[in-house]
């Protein structure tokens, strides 16, 4: 199987985020970066499939030069080669724009399976993987926890709401978005880190691929913290009924 995994470099979860002077993006100079969590699970799924069925795992990532560190991490964990889409304006591209970049970069490889994380930890669109499937003209499934290769294609386990799961079958080629937690993530070994330095990393520029950046943000801001107090009138029975209604339809926690 030839498997392509799209990975994204995102700010670390405990990073202290400051908004830059433009008010349209974060100050990147003092932020530490890491591989997006659900993309790491997509990579692990791909590596396990290759170990069972042989083949090749290719990682693809878009972003500036610093993305190379996350790509090397994926190579050190066991990916065979990589494609770096050199793009300094990724934050100005919507999900369609990013999917177009990835589709153009990976189309010549004619992969059997394309894996992405369910969503990114920074913007959280949750759309890039399914748009990528549409651009490539392949069937897709989302919220995947487990992938099993069959004679006819794939059998996958999807996570639904309220503790329910669904198993479906798809033909190949296909695209899947992977949910976090389906497997135990591996660490890069010392030998893997050494080998990563010699593995192929092809660099393509965003300008050579599809489309120009699209401004998707008028501006960003930190969430506002606020508290409010409401006095619910009436006797205990009436107040309890009103409270339940507010918790259901205003707070949405019931």
Interval 148-194: pLDDT, tens: 999 999 999 999 888 899 999 999 999 999 999 989 999 999 999 99
Amino acid 26: pLDDT = 82
The tokens for 39 are: 């993309």
Out of 14-18, 24-28, 138-142, give the one with best mean pLDDT.
138-142
> Cα(36)–Cα(30) distance, rounded to whole angstroms?
18
The tokens for 226 are: 């606020």
- Read off the pLDDT of each residue in 119-145 and give the average, rounded to a whole number: 94
The tokens for 37 are: 């969590």
Give the range of the structural domain holding residue 192, as residue numbers without chain letter: 2-208
Q: 221 in a domain, yes or no?
A: no
* Residue 212 pLDDT level (bands cut at 50, 70, 90): low
Amino acid 187: pLDDT = 94
Q: 214 in a domain, yes or no?
A: no
Q: 233 in a domain, yes or no?
A: no
Handedness of CA 69, 70, 71, 72 (dihedral sign): positive
Structural domains counted in the chain: 1
226 or 59, greater pLDDT: 59
> Cα(26)–Cα(30) distance, rounded to whole angstroms?
10
* Residue 92 pLDDT level (bands cut at 50, 70, 90): confident
CATH number at residue 153: 3.40.50.620
The tokens for 159 are: 């996570």
Pairing of strands 154-159, 165-170: antiparallel
Residue 140 dihedral angles phi and psi, to the nearest 5°: -145, 160
Amino acid 214: pLDDT = 66
> Cα(110)–Cα(69) distance, rounded to whole angstroms?
26
CA distances from 126 to 4, 38, 143, 201, 254 (A): 18, 11, 10, 26, 25
Pairing of strands 174-178, 113-117: parallel
- Cβ atoms < 10 Å from Cβ of 132: 26
* Residue 211 pLDDT level (bands cut at 50, 70, 90): low
Q: 89 in a domain, yes or no?
A: yes
Inform me whether the pLDDT recorded for 251 exceeds 80. Answer: no
To the nearest 10 degrees (0 to 180), the angle between helices 95-106 and 128-136 is 50
Q: 45 in a domain, yes or no?
A: yes
Amino acid 209: pLDDT = 81
> Cα(137)–Cα(174) distance, rounded to whole angstroms?
9
Short-list 226, 225, 214, 222, CA closest to 23: 222
Q: 81 in a domain, yes or no?
A: yes
> Cα(254)–Cα(251) distance, rounded to whole angstroms?
8
- Read off the pLDDT of each residue in 214-230 and give the average, rounded to a whole number: 75
Short-list 49, 72, 9, 56, CA closest to 176: 49
Amino acid 254: pLDDT = 73
Q: 131 in a domain, yes or no?
A: yes
> Cα(33)–Cα(19) distance, rounded to whole angstroms?
16
Q: 98 in a domain, yes or no?
A: yes
* Residue 213 pLDDT level (bands cut at 50, 70, 90): low
């Amino acid at each position: 199987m030839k498997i392509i995994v799209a990975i994204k470099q995102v700010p670390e979860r405990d990073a202290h985020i400051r908004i830059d002077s433009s008010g349209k993006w974060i100050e990147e100079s003092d932020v530490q970066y890491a591989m997006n969590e659900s993309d790491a699970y997509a990579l692990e799924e791909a590596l396990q499939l290759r170990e069972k069925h042989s083949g090749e795992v290719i990682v693809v990532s878009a972003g500036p030069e610093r993305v190379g560190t996350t790509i090397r991490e994926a190579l050190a964990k066991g990916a065979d080669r990589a494609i770096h889409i050199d793009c300094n304006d990724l934050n100005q591209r919507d999900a369609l724009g990013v999917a177009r970049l990835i589709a153009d970069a990976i189309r010549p490889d004619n992969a059997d399976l394309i894996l992405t994380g369910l969503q990114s930890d920074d913007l959280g669109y949750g759309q890039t993987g399914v748009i990528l499937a549409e651009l490539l003209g392949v069937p897709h499934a989302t919220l995947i926890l487990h992938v099993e290769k069959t004679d006819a294609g794939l059998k996958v386990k999807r996570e639904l709401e309220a503790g329910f799961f669904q198993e479906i079958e798809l033909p190949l080629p296909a695209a899947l978005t992977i949910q976090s937690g389906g497997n135990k993530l591996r660490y890069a070994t010392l030998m893997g880190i050494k080998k990563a330095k010699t593995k192929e990393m092809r660099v393509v520029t965003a300008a050579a691929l599809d489309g120009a950046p699209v401004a998707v943000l008028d501006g960003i801001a930190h969430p506002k913290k606020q508290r409010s107090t409401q006095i619910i009138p009436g006797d205990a029975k009436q107040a309890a009924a009103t409270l339940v209604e507010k918790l259901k339809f205003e707070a949405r926690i019931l």
